[in-house]
Structure 1
Amino acid sequence: MASPVLLFILLCSYYSTAHGGDKHGFVVVPTSSFEPEALCSTARVTRKEQNGATVLAPLVHRHGPCVPSSQSSTNKPSLAETLRRSRARADYIVSRASSRGSSNVSVPTYLGTSVDSLEYGVTLGIGTPAVSQFVLIDTGSDLSWVQCQPCNSTKCYKQKDPLFDPRKSTTYAPIPCHTDVCRRLTVDRYGAGCTDGGAHCGYFIQYGDGSRTNGVYSHETLTLGPGVAVTNFRFGCGYDQRQTTDKFDGILGLGGAPESLPVQTASIYGGAFSYCLPPVKSKPGFLALGGPKPSNTAAHGPGFVFTPMGRAMGRVDDELTSYVVRLTGISVGGIPLDVPASAFRGGMIIDSGQIVTRLQTTQYNALQAAFRKAMAAYPRLHNGDLDTCYNFTGYGNVTVPRIALTFAGGATVDLDVPHGVLLNNCLAFEESGPDIGLGMIGNVNTRTLEVLYDVGRSQLGFRSGAC
């Protein structure tokens, strides 16, 4: 009969193998790492060459300590409110992308997303001389915009940065009406006809929460970093806004339509861009334009795994904006879920503004069951925000199973533990609906990953541990 000491050694060996020895197994993490620090990390990202791409630094969480001091706000929504806004955004994006353009289908002409569900932003300069503006990044929209002078408190919401005044810029020029560029706005849902007595091109965006921006479609110089500027950048100079109490200055559109920053700079950066979202709010990430330089051993860039990327097969005028990939498998604790291939046929939109990943019914039920089984040692908590939450009070360390996503082409991505798996001690996934429908990949689950949208090659790349 084995001695108690030998049994203890064997049990420890088994636990190590099952809970951390395997790359795709389990990770022991201190519960203190779940919460962001009160101060921004001094390890700031600076502009540099990263895998051949121009890095814009920093990319920060809008409600974290790294946000520029001029943009700091005590108006931080609860998790329940954040998820409500995110779900409203997801429901609209999926319904828009799933519409087939039939005469029996009515699709709203406004954007159903809420700008309040966007979480990350960058500081850039607009005009000559450049005026700093803090704008939220959004892969779910295309047209970039900022508020412009002259604009009083009844027409524009209050922001802490100075409003951009085009009258003080030597490079500002409104786009004339009745031009091809102006007509394209109507095709892409952003057109507002002519303004300023019919001379200039007007734009209009209304969001599902009632927020809106209205103004003049214009040309201007966009400064992305020291010595890096985009001339004749097309953007919305907003003179009539209705917005929430948050103090961001505008939106940076990263979608796939002609109005977006990646498409406008395609001749310089090849239409590729990437970002890395930091694991906690107290650390900056980065936004980059351009793809990695291929090496002799990595045809698509060192450290990346790639999957084919397509468009949502919705209305003709909506196909360009959203980026879609196909999920083919999920594993929990190193064990693949027993899910039929048919459950993955709906596809997944990847969106910087979505909070948690939304999986179709069969996938989600399997993931939820496997995760709950792996976390059975910890008491469940029912808080109403997400349906798989835990009470870690009194635990110094928690053993969390790794979750890996496998995409078409075989690309497998390990989510960061715990920041890419847990949100407020809850599993950062939820159910989206029937298997045939579209799901969405959320920004929480891509934390620490560099996500590369290589539009020119129609592929999406992931690189682990990038920030």
Structure 2
Amino acid sequence: MILHIYIYVSVKPEQNGSTVYVPLVHRHGPCAPAPSLSTDTRSFADIFRRSRARPSYIVRGKKVSVPAHLGTSVMSLEYVVRVSFGTPAVPQVVVIDTGSDVSWLQCKPCSSGQCFPQKDPLYDPSHSSTYSAVPCASDVCKKLAADAYGSGCTSGKQCGFAISYADGTSTVGAYSQDKLTLAPGAIVQNFYFGCGHGKHAVRGLFDGVLGLGRLRESLGARYGGVFSYCLPSVSSKPGFLALGAGKNPSGFVFTPMGTVPGQPTFSTVTLAGINVGGKKLDLRPSAFSGGMIVDSGTVITGLQSTAYRALRSAFRKAMEAYRLLPNGDLDTCYNLTGYKNVVVPKIALTFTGGATINLDVPNGILVNGCLAFAESGPDGSAGVLGNVNQRAFEVLFDTSTSKFGFRAKAC
């Protein structure tokens, strides 16, 4: 993860030929189910700080699409889907995360001091007839360790897993396999995931994470490294997570997919230019040389220093009619209370190869009255394309051909 996005499934999946489409919602959005624990209210500052800390075998058969939602119901600005684990199938609300590989749930046994509150009861693997722990001496466990997710042996003979994120979040437990039900008739047998028996500093009421990174442990790898999603705006209808392929390629603009040296989980795009209010910023290609990780789990886009400062200056000039509001986390926020019509300047991002995306106005540009961009680091370092900027686009990941696709107004 870099920053998180969560997807929640609450509507009936639609099937179109061989493809099943499941809704995607923001986990704090109006379409997401109400949380069972309502006492944990998180401020935007809390959510942003957690999000900003983040940057630091193939399934043969039907293509699957799952509804995705903004995760307000589980106290997050990430996106969530509802899928089911085990036999009988037990629904779980999980974050979709292109910035991590290993999927995980909180599982029983787990004491209140070891696991954090979540929306649903902890997953109990002892109630599933298809569950099994991965043996410590297995090839699967050795591969997990080779990809830096292993944690030795638990309970003597079980394969252990451990995941730590840059924001201090961590989970440890038994690496396991069970049946994963994505939608009616869309089942992944022997799906590998972490059954967490200890979780630290995880804020939010989600039940786990669905990893969509590039490594072999991810759900995306099970579908050949080809998937797409559309992240809806807070007030919009549900989006979707489509595994196996995107929709018809018509309407997409494409750009080459890169990687981050030494960090094989991530996929990147490279910016070639930025327009604010119809005017192209005067930036040299070197300002974008570090590339940008495309991360569904990061909220705010992180731009390298020169590019960010140019964007901020142009945006502030276009928003001179509105009063800047001091904010300890983001530096370009506005008090928009009392305004009937707020005119937000358009922002367009152009990637190598000429692909240009016009960000959704205002929900793809502002979050809680703040510009959804921040300075990520010096020129030459990797930036992050966060989930706010991705809203309303179908974003296609195709690692088989090393390209990204963007289709506007997809949800």
- TM-score, scaled relative to structure 2: 0.87
1:426-465 to structure 2, matched below 5 A, reads 426-465=370-409
Quote the Cα distance in structure 1 between the aligned partners of 2:235 and 2:189.
32
Structure 2 gaps of 5+ residues are 1-8, 57-73
Cα deviations by residue, 1:406-447 (Å, 9 ceiling, x for unpaired): 001110000000001112222211112221111111111111
1:305 alignment counterpart: 253
SS in 2 for 1:311: strand
CA offset at residue 162 of structure 1? Answer: 2.5
SS in 2 for 1:399: coil
Larger radius of gyration: 1
Structure 1 gaps of 5+ residues are 1-42, 93-114, 295-300
RMSD of equivalent CA atoms: 2.4
Cα deviations by residue, 1:115-163 (Å, 9 ceiling, x for unpaired): 9976111111000110111111111111111122233334433334222
1:202 alignment counterpart: 160
Change (3 A) 1:169 1:257: same
1:27 alignment counterpart: none
2:364 alignment counterpart: 420
CA offset at residue 84 of structure 1? Answer: 1.6
Change (3 A) 1:51 1:84: farther
Change (3 A) 1:358 1:83: same
Select 1:218's aligned residue among 176, 187, 199. Answer: 176
Select 2:104's aligned residue among 135, 138, 145. Answer: 145
Select 2:29's aligned residue among 64, 82, 98. Answer: 64
Cα deviations by residue, 1:241-294 (Å, 9 ceiling, x for unpaired): 33445322111111111111011x22xxx3211221111156422211122355
Q: Is the 8 A contact 1:117 1:353 kept in 2?
A: no
Question: Higher helix share goes to which structure?
Answer: 1
Quote the Cα distance in structure 1 between the aligned partners of 2:17 and 2:409.
14
Letter in 2 for 1:406: T
2:123 alignment counterpart: 164
Quote the Cα distance in structure 2 between the aligned partners of 1:61 and 1:292.
20
1:385-396 to structure 2, matched below 5 A, reads 385-396=329-340
SS in 1 for 2:143: helix
Q: Is the 8 A contact 2:47 2:77 kept in 1?
A: no
Change (3 A) 1:333 1:220: same
1:127 alignment counterpart: 86
Quote the Cα distance in structure 1 between the aligned partners of 2:205 and 2:246.
34
Quote the Cα distance in structure 1 between the aligned partners of 2:19 and 2:79.
20
Letter in 2 for 1:171: T
Q: Is the 8 A contact 1:137 1:254 kept in 2?
A: yes
Quote the Cα distance in structure 1 between the aligned partners of 2:381 and 2:42.
29
Change (3 A) 1:402 1:132: same
- TM-score, scaled relative to structure 1: 0.77
Is 2:54 the partner of 1:89? yes
Question: Higher strand share goes to which structure?
Answer: 2
Quote the Cα distance in structure 2 between the aligned partners of 1:210 and 1:381.
29
SS in 2 for 1:435: coil
CA offset at residue 326 of structure 1? Answer: 0.5
Select 2:353's aligned residue among 385, 404, 409. Answer: 409
How many residue pairs are counted as aligned between the two chains? 386
1:65-80 to structure 2, matched below 5 A, reads 65-71=30-36, 73-80=38-45
1:107 alignment counterpart: none
Q: Is the 8 A contact 1:118 1:136 kept in 2?
A: no
1:29-48 to structure 2, matched below 5 A, reads 46-48=12-14
2:281 alignment counterpart: 337
Select 2:322's aligned residue among 378, 388, 406. Answer: 378
Identity in percent: 58
Quote the Cα distance in structure 2 between the aligned partners of 1:410 and 1:50.
32
Cα deviations by residue, 1:270-326 (Å, 9 ceiling, x for unpaired): 3211221111156422211122355xxxxxx0111111112101x2xx32x011110
